[in-house]
Structure formats: C-alpha cells, structure tokens
Structure 1
Amino acid sequence: MVRPEFVKVLLRRPARRARTEADWLRSRRAGSNVAVFHEFQPPPYGGGNQFLLALVRELQRRGLAVELNRLSGRTPACLYNSFNFDFRRLRRFARGGVRMVHRVDGPISAYRGFDDGTDRRITEINELADMTILQSQFSLDKHAELGLELRNPVVVHNSVDPAIFHPPRERQPHARLRVISTSWSGNPRKGGDILSWLDRNLDFDDVDMTFAGNTQQTFDRINVIAPRPSHELADLLRAHDIYLAPSRDDPCSNALLEGLACGLPAAFLRSGGHPELVGEAGLGFDEAEELPAVFAQLRDELDERRARIRVPSLDDVADLYLEALTA
C-alpha cells in the first residue's frame, strides 16, 4: 500500500512547478536591484539564515529593492545560497545577462561528518555562477582539498546585525566566570562531547556554564536554555564573560561571531574557520581537558582579549557582496 505521506510529496511537486511557472510569467516585466534565493526561516534558526536576514535588511536600508526567490525580467543580479533553495526554480528563472553569485559554505560533508551527495549538488548548481563567495579561508581550502571546483571563488566572512549583537554599555563584575555556548543545530559535531566532558569535570564553584540552543545531550550541571529570538539571545550573551566555540569543521560560525560581537573573548576548538575569526581575541584548544586552564587564562586576560575582538562590520561585508554582484 502506498503511504499517504508519499502521495502528498508526489502531488506537491506538480503544484510547485505550476507556481514557479506562474511566478515566472508574472515577473517578466518586473525588476529589482538584486534577487536572493534562500528558504528564509523566522529566527531563531541557523547561522546562514541569520546572516542573510541581516544582509537583506542592510541592502534594503541602503534603498535597494531586493526580491526573494524570484529573478524578474529586469533584475540584473542574483545571489543564491548554498543548497538552501529550490534548484529547479532557480534554473527556470536564470537567464543570460544576469550577474550570478553563489554563496557557498561547508564543505557540507566535512561539516556534517558524512557525504550524502549535497556537495556534488552544490557544485552542479555552481555552474550557473559568475563568482562564488565562501565564508572562510578554511572553506576555500577544504573544497580544493576534496577536489570540489567552484567558479571564481573569493572569501568574505559573515557578519552580524550591529543593532542586535553589540557589546553592553557597561559590564558588571561576576563572582564566578560566566561561560556560554550556543547552537541552533543539534548536530553532535557542534561540540556535544566537549560540553559533556565539561558537565562532568568543570569546577562549577568557579565557573558558571550555560548552553543556549538545541542539543542531543543531557546535562546535569550545565544550565540549558531553549533557543531564543535574536534580541533575547544577544541580551543573554552580554550577560556572560567568555564564549565557547566547540564545533568541528564549522566554516564560519555565526554563533561565534554573535558572541564576539557582544564583546565576549572566545575559547575555541582549533577547527574549521574558528581560528581565523577569533584571531588574538581568544585562546584555542585541541582537547576538552585543556579548557579549565584556557578559561583561567582568559579570566586573567579578559580586558586585553576583549580589546582585540575584530568582527567584520555588516556595512563592509555588504559592500563586498555588492561588489561581487555588480562586477
């Protein structure tokens, strides 16, 4: 017997194709400054979604007309994000004379820890691109290492919305060091094993540890907070001293950038794009057992490390995206 959910999928595909064709016909005489293809989700959600929401708001603040998941007949440029959109829809709308820029993260196989063919699909849709934007040098190098060829790649780090993620006006001293880690994804490679080690071994008389987001782990002593909207998350970050970035092969962690932007020096796993994002504004580690000493050193150097935080401004990042879209 055919399962009902399978029937729904079969029925949904023709309906989606029909909507795409109707939207294509309606848009032939319309136009915007730029089109963005991405399946946007209301926050809280993943880092790429958060960044693109901030980027679109910045472009609109500058007076640019941005259309979403549609490339009208008079729109001269299109930014499409990784694999998080309808490939068939983009191919239907794509046409000659449009500047196509593909924003790529990952490699997804490195980030997830397994290869399900997503990287291959990304390279296939990348054939439409005039230029590819990757979020970190790590991501660029890792794609090359895996033999994944991308068209005219450049590196542009992500940024955050400065109206939301910014340092506090003043800081209150804390009797115990306050450390926080955040993640929308429950992927174990986000550092669940490191957090579990801390839950068992950290001196909680000296350190207050908080995790905000989704996780598959269960903790006895770490304070766990459910995912929060961006403004609430920013307030929570500003109430802490240090950001912990324990994820593996994360190309350009927006969660880490949000912590840094709120004025938190970072303890980061030497993996992925973490080292290039943090620079001298924190300390790296290779094993969870190093963290008590890392936290102690960061406590002694908080003001010094905080002064070295450098997060790419949204204004500068938007300039680089516009340069790619109008080259």
Structure 2
Amino acid sequence: MKIAIGYHLQSGPWGGGNQFARSLIRALEARGDSVRYDLEDGDLDIILLTDPRWRSPNVSFGAGAILRYLSRRNPRALVVHRINECDERKGTHNMNRLLRWANYAVDYTVFIASWLEDLDVWQRSSPHDVILNGADATIFRQSLNTHWDGQQRLKLVTHHWGGNHMKGFDVFTRLDRLLAEPTWRDRIEFTYIGNLPAGYRFQYANYLSPLNGEQLARELAKHHVYITASVNEPAGMHHIEGALSGLPVLYRNSGALPEYCSGFGIEFVGDDFIPALESMFGRYAELKRVMPAYPHSSDRMCAGYLALFDSMLAQRQQLLSVRRLWRAPLAAMRNMVLM
C-alpha cells in the first residue's frame, strides 16, 4: 500500500497530532507500506487528510490539493479525513466550517472521540468511525512510576503543548491559589509542564518548559496523580500519556475526557475539582491497581487505522462507485480554490 499523509513531522516537543503521525508512520513502515508526505506520486492508494489549514507549517497538503489530485491524476485513490479539531476547543469561529468544507471529497471520516460526531464538522455523507488516540507505551510506562505512600504530599502533574486558557487554566489557577493555604501546601504539590498563555505566571505551582519523549515520561513518573481540565478537548494525548505512566487521573467532565479516562480516575464538573481531589486521597490505591489495564496505546490506535485502510482497499470499487466529486460544483470549486 502507498499512502500519503498530509503532515510534516516536527522535532522536539509538539502537539498530539505530531505524536499521532509519528506512531502511524512507524506502524505503516514496519509492515512494509510506502509512506509519502505529498501528492506527487500518481499511484497513491490512500490519502490521509489531517488538517484543513493547508498553510500551517506542519500541514503538507490540504483538501483542495486532494480534490485536484483525484480529478486530474488518480481517481482511484481513497481519501480518509481524520477529524481532531473543533471551534468548541478554543472558542474559535472558523475551524468547524473549514473541517466541513474539507470533508467534501472524502471516502471515510475518522473521529478521534465520539462526541465530535455530533458537531457540525463533517458532510455526514461518508462512512465514519471512531478510532481513539493512543500514546507510545514503550516510552510512557508504568514501571517508571512509584506508588504514593499515603504519607508524603500527593504530587499532581499536567502537561500541554498549547497554551490556550481553555486547556484548563481556570482549574490550574484555583489549584495554584490552593497551594497558598498551609493546610493544602502540606498535602499536595502541583507541577505544570509546557507552554502557558501569554503573560501567565504560577505563584506556587512548579513550572517546567515543554518536554517530550523519554524526558517527559520520566518527569511524569515522578508524580502520583495526573490532572486534566481541558474544556471541550477533542481527545488530546496528554491525559493518555499520564495514564500510561501509571497515574490515576482527575479529569473534567468535558469533551472527550470521560471517554478516555472513565474507570481510571475521578471526574469533576466545571472548575469544582476539590471534592474529586479529596476523594483521590481515599481512592488512590484502588485506582492505582487498575492503571496497568489502561488500553489507549499507540499500538492499539495504529491497528485501528491499518485495519481501516486494508478494509477500504478491499472495498475500493464499492467506495468509488458512490463517489460524486462534482455533486455540488460550487462546493467543489470552493475547495479547489480556497482549500
């Protein structure tokens, strides 16, 4: 199989999309598939659209280039659109429209969490499925992590590449202020790893610049509990990396977080995390015992994508028979010109 992935891999600390692409490329190449990052080859089997923002430095081609390729060079290539974004995530106003436009000429749509299916981000005309994200369990591993003994301070940690306030800074600010109180300062620590909103500073929490790979894994493993407070998180990788590292999760009831964290932590609503934190003191040992069963590894994720690609190729004629690239000429031209 020859596949083109619309992504430029980035070195060093980066977002979850980079971790996804790196894992999938490794899995494809391990079984002998040929991976391309552009649409130059005229015999591609699968094209994976990862982001409609074709001008972004990490995007190697967009929906317009795909439509031109299908129309002019290779009508037999099959297109998969992985939807991992939305306006609800950061309070933006154009991402859902871009995703919906980009979804025009695809043969299959993949969502990285179930809640995204209900948003106005796709044409609702293609077959679709949910394939959950997964992180590298050979890097983020339980064996590095030590148990909380119930006596020392409970060490909480989170990490984010993006510094948007909706990553949970309402909760992180409350947690930082909580550490100003001697009774809490004697019970907990909190470390934030990653980028911050412009001008933001913690007063009492520990802060570390963005880390990745083994360095990040070893830092996460020094802690006892992972906290994620993202609002409308499409899926993310951060909480997955924390859970794979053996840390029970305090998670906000928002976006994809319940789908990924349920059964492996304690949920809270809004910014009212203190009852869940109090509960964690009593339930830590119970939750710690189930963490080895956390399922969301990159191997599992990649197996889902490989199975999808293989199934699509086996049904290529059926998928092509229902494709209508020019069913809406104005929409097609918009994609070709603007996307």
The verdict on a shared fold, with TM-score over 0.5 as the criterion, is yes
Q: Name which of structure 1's ranges 97-106 and 83-92 shifts more when overlaid on structure 2.
A: 83-92
1:281·1:307 contact (CA, 8 Å) conserved in 2?
no
Match of 2:108 in 1: 131
Q: Which amino acid aligns with 2:221?
A: R
Please report how far the alpha carbon of residue 66 of structure 1 lies from its aligned counterpart in structure 2 after TM superposition.
1.2
Match of 2:284 in 1: 302
Alignment: residue pair count: 291
Distance 2:19 2:8 in 1: 12
Match of 1:103 in 2: 82
CA separation of 1:41 and 1:90: change in aligned 2, threshold 3 A: farther
The answer to whether the aligner puts 1:283 opposite 2:260 as a matched pair is no
Q: Which amino acid aligns with 2:83?
A: V
1:180·1:244 contact (CA, 8 Å) conserved in 2?
yes
Distance 2:4 2:229 in 1: 35
Match of 1:230 in 2: 213
Distance 2:31 2:136 in 1: 14
Please report how far the alpha carbon of residue 160 of structure 1 lies from its aligned counterpart in structure 2 after TM superposition.
0.8
CA separation of 1:40 and 1:177: change in aligned 2, threshold 3 A: same
Please report how far the alpha carbon of residue 150 of structure 1 lies from its aligned counterpart in structure 2 after TM superposition.
5.8
Distance 1:150 1:238 in 2: 44
Match of 2:48 in 1: 79
Structure 1 gap segments, 5+ residues each:
1-31
Give SS of 1:288's match.
coil
CA separation of 1:70 and 1:147: change in aligned 2, threshold 3 A: closer
Match of 2:326 in 1: none
Q: Which amino acid aligns with 1:244?
A: I
The C-alpha deviation readout for 1:246-293, integer Å capped at 9, x for no partner, is 1100011211111111111110110000001011110111143432x3
Match of 2:157 in 1: 180
Match of 2:225 in 1: 242
Q: Which amino acid aligns with 2:301?
A: V
Distance 2:295 2:139 in 1: 14
Match of 2:20 in 1: 51
Give SS of 1:186's match.
coil
Q: Which amino acid aligns with 1:179?
A: L
Query: Out of 146, 168, 175, which is 2:143 matched to?
Result: 168
1:257·1:311 contact (CA, 8 Å) conserved in 2?
no
Q: Which amino acid aligns with 2:90?
A: R
Give SS of 1:267's match.
strand
CA separation of 1:111 and 1:256: change in aligned 2, threshold 3 A: same
Give SS of 2:119's match.
helix
Query: Out of 157, 161, 176, which is 1:199 matched to?
Result: 176
Please report how far the alpha carbon of residue 205 of structure 1 lies from its aligned counterpart in structure 2 after TM superposition.
1.4
Match of 1:21 in 2: none
Match of 1:14 in 2: none
Match of 1:27 in 2: none
Distance 2:238 2:157 in 1: 11
CA separation of 1:221 and 1:65: change in aligned 2, threshold 3 A: same
1:182·1:255 contact (CA, 8 Å) conserved in 2?
yes
Q: TM-score scaled by structure 1?
A: 0.83
Query: Out of 90, 115, 118, which is 1:112 matched to?
Result: 90
Distance 2:123 2:212 in 1: 35
Larger relative contact order (C-alpha < 8 A, sep ≥ 6)? Answer: 2
Q: Which amino acid aligns with 1:90?
A: I
The answer to whether the aligner puts 1:36 opposite 2:18 as a matched pair is no
Please report how far the alpha carbon of residue 71 of structure 1 lies from its aligned counterpart in structure 2 after TM superposition.
5.2
1:180·1:211 contact (CA, 8 Å) conserved in 2?
yes
Query: Out of 34, 38, 56, which is 1:65 matched to?
Result: 34
CA separation of 1:104 and 1:154: change in aligned 2, threshold 3 A: same
1:78·1:99 contact (CA, 8 Å) conserved in 2?
yes
Give SS of 1:301's match.
helix
Distance 1:275 1:118 in 2: 23
Q: Which amino acid aligns with 1:234?
A: A
Segments of 4+ in structure 1 off by > 6 A?
none
1:33·1:66 contact (CA, 8 Å) conserved in 2?
yes
Q: Name which of structure 1's ranges 60-69 and 247-256 shifts more when overlaid on structure 2.
A: 60-69
Distance 1:167 1:142 in 2: 35
Distance 2:202 2:219 in 1: 19
Distance 1:153 1:230 in 2: 31
1:36·1:70 contact (CA, 8 Å) conserved in 2?
no
